[in-house]
Chains A and B, each alone.
Chain A
Amino acid sequence: MSELRWHPLLEEWVTVAPWRQDRTYHPSADHCPLCPTRPGHPETEIPASDYYIAVFENRFPSFTGEQGRCEVVCYTPDHDSSLGEQSVDHIQDLIEVWRDRTDELGRLPNVRYVYIFENRGEAIGVTLSHPHGQIYAYPFVPPVMQHELAAHARHQRTTGRCIYCDVLAGEEGGERTVLRDEHWIAFVPPFARWPYEVHIAPLRHRNGLLDLDADDSASFARILKGMLQKYDRLFEMPLPYVMAMHQKPPGRRGPDHHFHVEFYPPNRSRDKLKYLAGSELGAGAFIVDARAEDTAAELRGL
């Protein structure tokens, strides 16, 4: 199991998992562990000759046993595909898988937060190119979510309103909107820390995946696919990104939150990346060299 060390200055946990040093690193497509097992070839993580969507425990977990879980979600058996290339129907099925995992992992006794995310592209540090995402069931509420939940709780105490609902109300003008329908919106937040950062969120207050109804899920799938397609058109290449789902911690009486998905693509142009350097890493102060209104207009026009 991992060792959790308390950072007394930042007041947050650091997870030490040395065995992850040996995790599979950029295997060739012929040796992809996330592809179905082919006859006459060594068994992959998925012994079946085909699958629709598959989830398995990470072989190199950061959290396991009583600490939590780390899962890998294989979106498709097609090695050369991507999340954005899946049909809306398939993405709706994937949303059901995310819901199921949120529910099941959230029931584990020591799990305090279920975090669904995807790292895409080598620029982000992806070691397996097969389209997949991950789920971390943490034994603590991660720091970013703690900050958000605390801000939300303070705002609710002082105004009686959800802070993210108020953020969305600020997007009525549409200047930073990339995509929108009756239920969901994709927009570049005015406080974006990455040039092409985008949030997608339900317009009605929903705490998390478990609160989504059929209409919410269908809209979520359409907006998610639309956004990912725009991302890949932006520089006419598969855009690297981190996709991070922020939802309420497990438990019926847990703190309130407004479910949303954040995307952080590292590119500031086709061939230039934004690196987290002195100000961002050393001081936690992001400097972004693009206006949200401009990048939103660019994305909207694609």
Chain B
Amino acid sequence: MNFAQECTSVSTGRRRRHRPNYTFRSMPRSQNADAAALDVQSVREVSRPQRSKKAAKRLSKRLVQKSDGRYLIYYEKS
């Protein structure tokens, strides 16, 4: 926890205890998406943006796995 769950400077006696969502997994969508007006669920359900048809591929791509499991991608002139 990175902050007190209850503010100690104010007596909140009968007030409902505030339980902040301070872990990522419990983050409600509205907490980070409100300002962006981003409906994440609907975004995920639709197909992805398509590459512009006018932009031809200029490079080839070669994927390599490093010894520690990380990936490395070489982009080369087609």
Contacts and interface: CB of A to CB of B under 8 A. Distances in A.
Interface in B25-61: 27, 31-33, 35-40, 42-44, 46-52, 54-59, 61
A140 B32 contact: yes
Interface string B2-24: 11000000000000000011111
Contacts of A215: 54
B43 A251 contact: yes
B6 to A, nearest CB: 12
The binding surface of chain A is classed by DSSP as: mixed
Interface in A67-116: 67, 92-93, 96-97, 99-100, 103, 106-107, 109, 112
Contact of B61 (A51, A100, A139, A252): A100
27 contacts: A4-B24, A8-B3, A11-B31, A45-B66, A47-B72, A52-B77, A53-B75, A56-B66, A56-B71, A67-B24, A93-B58, A96-B55, A99-B55, A100-B75, A107-B48, A145-B36, A149-B38, A150-B37, A211-B52, A212-B55, A213-B55, A214-B55, A214-B56, A250-B43, A251-B48, A252-B46, A252-B49
Nearest to B4: A8
Contacts of A4: 23-24, 27
A146 B20 contact: no
Nearest to B53: A213
Contacts of B58: 92-93, 96
Contact of A55 (B35, B68, B75): B75
A146 B73 contact: no
Contacts, number: 149
Which of the listed residues B2, B38, B48, B57 has the most CB atoms from chain A within 10 Å of its own CB?
A: B38
A131 to B, nearest CB: 15
A214 B24 contact: no
B22 A5 contact: yes
Interface SS of chain B: helix, strand, loop or mixed? loop
A18 interface: no
Interface residues of B, number: 45
Contact of A56 (B3, B46, B73): B73
A253 B32 contact: no
Interface residues of A, number: 58
Interface string A239-281: 0000000000111111100000000000000000000000000
B70 A59 contact: yes
Contact of B43 (A48, A212, A252): A252
Nearest to A67: B24
A150 B22 contact: no
Contacts of A214: 52, 54-56
A112 B27 CA distance: 13
A217 B59 contact: no
A114 B43 CA distance: 15
A14 B1 CA distance: 12
Interface in A24-67: 45-48, 51-57, 59, 67
**Which of B3, B21, B43 has its CB near the most chain A CB atoms (within 10 A)?**
B43
B73 to A, nearest CB: 5
A146 B59 contact: no
